[in-house]
Chain A
């Protein structure tokens, strides 16, 4: 969680310096959800994320270097500079990307789960999305097919309570997202995301259900992003008080407290871990800055897999 936060802080800084372009959607404040959920997986399980997926990529085994170099648009990025912040892919860790069309990735994630079932593998797919995806048609079609075909998938709504700048009560008539599950014969669960261990446990139950019974689950985790929707969002639709109130429920310091209190980890061990994370992220920034730019030649080769199809000749 701390690595993710430090990486995103470094990203924000690099964006402010103009070293990162385009959109940058930070998940600062939401780290507990992706970290807890992905901690319940096996390495061969799949993750499909949204455009706010830096945390998911790192939690699924991706490196700060791969993330930051991608954000810098460098050839060493996890998507070789072709994807950017919204499209972090990591095939070897089965991180199947971040997607920029809200809700558009939900049917795709169902397809990944379909594939596991088709082959008789017992891998599970986690599909993350925000509360903003819920009114989208693709969300319903994806869940509907998963329920119909009993696919090994867990749909995780990271409910940060705002579709960009519009609060949930103005986007959903039924605010409890998981009530949709009933219509699709999908199991449901709903809880707060301020405790990473709670997230791991409860998602773990859904993952087990998917793996064993091939039953999909729709999970809603209540969380909050401390920053705007993207770097160009001043966040004027939320009050300072509201943000401060939620910062008190930040899963990151809470986890630190738990480590000290419940897991007998010593303060100096944590301090040393924090220092090493800081150093790792600093190193990743250096790596990103010094890496070569994205390769134009490579771009031509990534349009089609077929080596005989050259887009230059099209």
Chain B
């Protein structure tokens, strides 16, 4: 009866071998100890001896093939034997020699890293948008097969059960025995201050507390442990984190705040929106659109502020391109750019911001649509935020933080008398890169913005 010869284990760690060379051919007689082939293992080139006798009836793999341990390589039997059954068995064992087919695609991590490094390399000179790398990396990582990703980075593929150790913030420090004792004696640890190192509550403190009648069994509600969870950060989040740290650390920010009376602006917006109602293709103009327009026009009038600090010198931007911060549903952030916002009509600008925002949320922006801005508007007014300061989006040198529009009492002079009136006011905070935009320049720029918002008809020209 013919028998199947399988790939032998020729070293303790061998899992597969390359059949380097057949030293016997089909039809050769074999004695125990005869070497039938040479096999390249993980350790060395090894001889492959047989311990049986018979005739080598069939060679099942070719020289150069990689064969897994235990997979068939040849058939041994007696001359003239019928091989039908054995070959069927070989078929069932199924193991065909594997050609060296390497991983079809590089793991997603590597691709992501590449995208990031690419940006970083030009970071100093060419001034990419911070969100650019992030936005790019996300689609790269997405299509990768889940299993591969899990295998490559098991630690990040699951929410880890281990609680992150507390930072001591709000935690009660107590020795294990003090905790046990407190429970027994009904002492509320939260009401004690510890006498041990770092305020650790120790046995002595519990004893003293109990002796002074501090026992308060009812207050001793043990809160079931609500464990912290460590979740993986997305590539976009990591990029945002890195770029914001760089921005906050490297750019000497100064902050200028001013209020604008925007009754006329609100009025004008209503009129604009009313006039378009029912017209095909009409777009509602938002307050934010008008702020973008105002900032763009102010920068166009004050080209000294439309600049970027670079290692080579101060880059004066040829056009005025305004970024608008858009938050994304999965805790991301991106800044699409309205090009030449200073010269676009308010209608065209409104249509463009609408389109950019929609496509940003759908992650369909092209790279050139979220890079190359010269200033950014960030608006949290719709969330009721009165005012805030924003971090500059490098390599830009200004960012305008826009608060909510609300009615406030203001003091105005009427007929030589100061009187209180109610007006719609908006607080604007301009963050400037002090390396290129000094306080006075920033103040003039902000003043120009306020002027445009307060007398908005100027923006229609």
Let me know if chains A and B touch directly in the complex, using CB atoms closer than 8 Å.
yes
Which residues does chain A contribute within 8 Å of B69, judged by CB atoms? 18
Q: A13-B52, A18-B69, A18-B70 are in contact. Are A234 and B12 (CB under 8 A)?
A: no
- Report Cα–Cα, A9/B30, bound state, in Å: 14
Contact A17 B33 (CB under 8 A): no
| From A12, A22, A23, contact of B49 by CB (8 A) | A12
Contact A231 B10 (CB under 8 A): yes
- Report Cα–Cα, A23/B43, bound state, in Å: 14
A287 within 8 A of B: no
Contact A232 B10 (CB under 8 A): yes
Which residues does chain B contribute within 8 Å of A226, judged by CB atoms? 33
Contact A12 B12 (CB under 8 A): no
Contact A21 B12 (CB under 8 A): yes
Most buried by A among B32, B51, B52: B51
CB distance from B152 to the nearest CB of A (A): 29
A139 within 8 A of B: no
Contact B51 A13 (CB under 8 A): yes
Which residues does chain A contribute within 8 Å of B47, judged by CB atoms? 234-235
Which residues does chain A contribute within 8 Å of B45, judged by CB atoms? 234
Chain A 3-43 near chain B by CB (<8 Å), digits 1 or 0: 00000011011011110011100001000000000000000
Which residues of chain B in 4-43 are interfacial with respect to chain A, using CB atoms and an 8 Å cutoff? 6, 8-12, 32-33, 43
Which residues does chain A contribute within 8 Å of B10, judged by CB atoms? 16, 231-232
B46 within 8 A of A: yes
Which residues does chain B contribute within 8 Å of A16, judged by CB atoms? 6, 8-10, 48, 51
CB distance from B130 to the nearest CB of A (A): 55
Q: A9-B32, A9-B33, A232-B43 are in contact. Are A15 and B49 (CB under 8 A)?
A: no
When A and B form their complex, what is the total count of cross-chain residue pairs whose Cβ atoms lie within 8 Å?
44
B151 within 8 A of A: no
Contact A17 B43 (CB under 8 A): no
| From A12, A13, A17, A234, contact of B46 by CB (8 A) | A234
Contact A17 B9 (CB under 8 A): yes
CB distance from B36 to the nearest CB of A (A): 11
CB distance from A182 to the nearest CB of B (A): 40
Contact A12 B70 (CB under 8 A): no
Contact B51 A17 (CB under 8 A): no
Of all chain A residues, the one with the shortest Cβ separation from B6 is A17
B44 within 8 A of A: yes
Of all chain A residues, the one with the shortest Cβ separation from B42 is A232
Of all chain B residues, the one with the shortest Cβ separation from A9 is B51
| From B8, B33, B70, contact of A15 by CB (8 A) | B8
| From B9, B33, B44, B46, contact of A18 by CB (8 A) | B9
Which residues does chain A contribute within 8 Å of B51, judged by CB atoms? 9-10, 12-13, 16
Most buried by B among A10, A16, A22, A236: A16
Which residues of chain B in 34-87 are interfacial with respect to chain A, using CB atoms and an 8 Å cutoff? 43-49, 51-52, 69-70
Which residues does chain B contribute within 8 Å of A236, judged by CB atoms? 44
Of all chain A residues, the one with the shortest Cβ separation from B12 is A232
- Report Cα–Cα, A236/B70, bound state, in Å: 25
Of all chain B residues, the one with the shortest Cβ separation from A28 is B33
Which residues does chain A contribute within 8 Å of B32, judged by CB atoms? 9
Contact A232 B11 (CB under 8 A): yes
Chain B 425-459 near chain A by CB (<8 Å), digits 1 or 0: 00000000000000000000000000000000000
Which residues does chain B contribute within 8 Å of A17, judged by CB atoms? 6, 8-9, 70
Which residues does chain B contribute within 8 Å of A231, judged by CB atoms? 9-11
Of all chain A residues, the one with the shortest Cβ separation from B49 is A12
Which residues does chain B contribute within 8 Å of A232, judged by CB atoms? 10-12, 43-44, 46
- Report Cα–Cα, A13/B12, bound state, in Å: 14
Most buried by B among A28, A234, A235: A234
- Report Cα–Cα, A61/B212, bound state, in Å: 82
- Report Cα–Cα, A23/B12, bound state, in Å: 7
Of all chain A residues, the one with the shortest Cβ separation from B70 is A18
Which residues does chain B contribute within 8 Å of A22, judged by CB atoms? 12
CB distance from B68 to the nearest CB of A (A): 11
Chain A 205-244 near chain B by CB (<8 Å), digits 1 or 0: 0000000000000000000001000011011100000000
- Report Cα–Cα, A284/B69, bound state, in Å: 24
- Report Cα–Cα, A234/B48, bound state, in Å: 10
Which residues does chain A contribute within 8 Å of B48, judged by CB atoms? 16
- Report Cα–Cα, A16/B71, bound state, in Å: 12
- Report Cα–Cα, A232/B44, bound state, in Å: 8
- Report Cα–Cα, A226/B33, bound state, in Å: 10
Of all chain A residues, the one with the shortest Cβ separation from B15 is A18
Chain B 349-388 near chain A by CB (<8 Å), digits 1 or 0: 0000000000000000000000000000000000000000
Which residues does chain A contribute within 8 Å of B11, judged by CB atoms? 231-232
CB distance from A7 to the nearest CB of B (A): 11
Q: A16-B8, A17-B9, A226-B33 are in contact. Are A234 and B44 (CB under 8 A)?
A: yes
CB distance from B308 to the nearest CB of A (A): 64
Which residues does chain B contribute within 8 Å of A234, judged by CB atoms? 44-47
- Report Cα–Cα, A67/B35, bound state, in Å: 25
Which residues does chain A contribute within 8 Å of B43, judged by CB atoms? 232
Which residues does chain B contribute within 8 Å of A15, judged by CB atoms? 8-9
CB distance from B10 to the nearest CB of A (A): 7
Of all chain A residues, the one with the shortest Cβ separation from B5 is A16
CB distance from A157 to the nearest CB of B (A): 26
Query: Interface of A with B (CB < 8 Å)?
Result: 9-10, 12-13, 15-18, 21-23, 28, 226, 231-232, 234-236
Given A15-B8, A16-B6, A23-B12, 19 more pairs with CB closer than 8 A? A9-B51, A12-B51, A13-B51, A15-B9, A16-B10, A17-B8, A17-B70, A18-B8, A18-B9, A18-B70, A21-B12, A22-B12, A226-B33, A231-B9, A231-B11, A232-B12, A234-B46, A234-B47, A235-B47
Query: Interface of B with A (CB < 8 Å)?
Result: 6, 8-12, 32-33, 43-49, 51-52, 69-70
Identify the 7 closest CB pairs spanning chains A and B, nearest first: A16-B8, A13-B51, A232-B11, A9-B51, A18-B9, A234-B46, A234-B44
Interchain residue pairs with CB less than 8 A apart (30)? A9-B51, A10-B51, A12-B49, A13-B52, A15-B8, A16-B6, A16-B8, A16-B9, A16-B10, A16-B48, A16-B51, A17-B9, A18-B8, A18-B9, A18-B69, A21-B12, A22-B12, A23-B12, A226-B33, A231-B9, A231-B11, A232-B10, A232-B11, A232-B44, A232-B46, A234-B44, A234-B45, A234-B47, A235-B47, A236-B44
